[in-house]
Structure 1
């Protein structure tokens, strides 16, 4: 069965305690992020099946999706009672997944903007006795061209992070963008 990108299916049909066969397919989407929202450790973008069948009742139940730090790493999923319903469920999940990725990227941009804004405000504060401009800059620099964070690339201040979904892509906010928004 060909499914849209970022969607998966598992047939978890089984027999309940009354020996009745319960047909059940779980369709789920990838996570819209690759780092835990709480602790920032790597997580499985393509999670295992997020639901199971309670053998006594035949009802679906979510599996434990708690990360080691205690964060619940939600996965969107739909239970369907026939294989024919899988494609439609997968199409819905593909749409929701795209919306979730877009929202996660928006949050990442807002976080980077806030971090860079705070760093620029700190940079603009008067130096204290014995402090140099280089000292202040070293205080606010958290990244480099190959390490996510805040830094000066030789031309401008910026904050960047790996894309929420793709290690090869980045999200970058430039000081000029922040200053342009406040004009």
Structure 2
């Protein structure tokens, strides 16, 4: 995911974005169009608002609403070591997601296990909001949870780095291994 976010350069091969080698695209132009949430997201010990954006604060409350934190005050100081509040794992994850939702004109959302600390309700809410916000954008979601696959246009089914399938969820259910994995998560 960090290769796709252009944080690292591939040591072999290439990444094509609309048939153009990512190495040939100006970093700043590309970064302006993407919004990633990594599994090792940063937990900034600033105010909630500054944790989302250091610049313009217009839209911070809306991003908090979309990410499932409507009651979190953007002025609230984070980090007990600074006299602030500490958040739960799920709240920190939602705050990282709020950073992704805050950004405008996104063409590519990258989510790397960004639902791992969310409860079932929070995860469902996240998917619904993401569907609203991502109209016209591409969303790449890496997850071990199968709850999101039904919402996806296409699913890449991987095992040990090998692509075992690339199709809709409905069509992949015809693959016994995929179907078994899907059923295991709901039994």
Task: Decide which structure has greater strand share.
Answer: 1
Q: TM-score, normalised by structure 1?
A: 0.26
Q: Which has the greater radius of gyration?
A: 1
- Scaled by the length of structure 2, the TM-score of the pair is 0.26
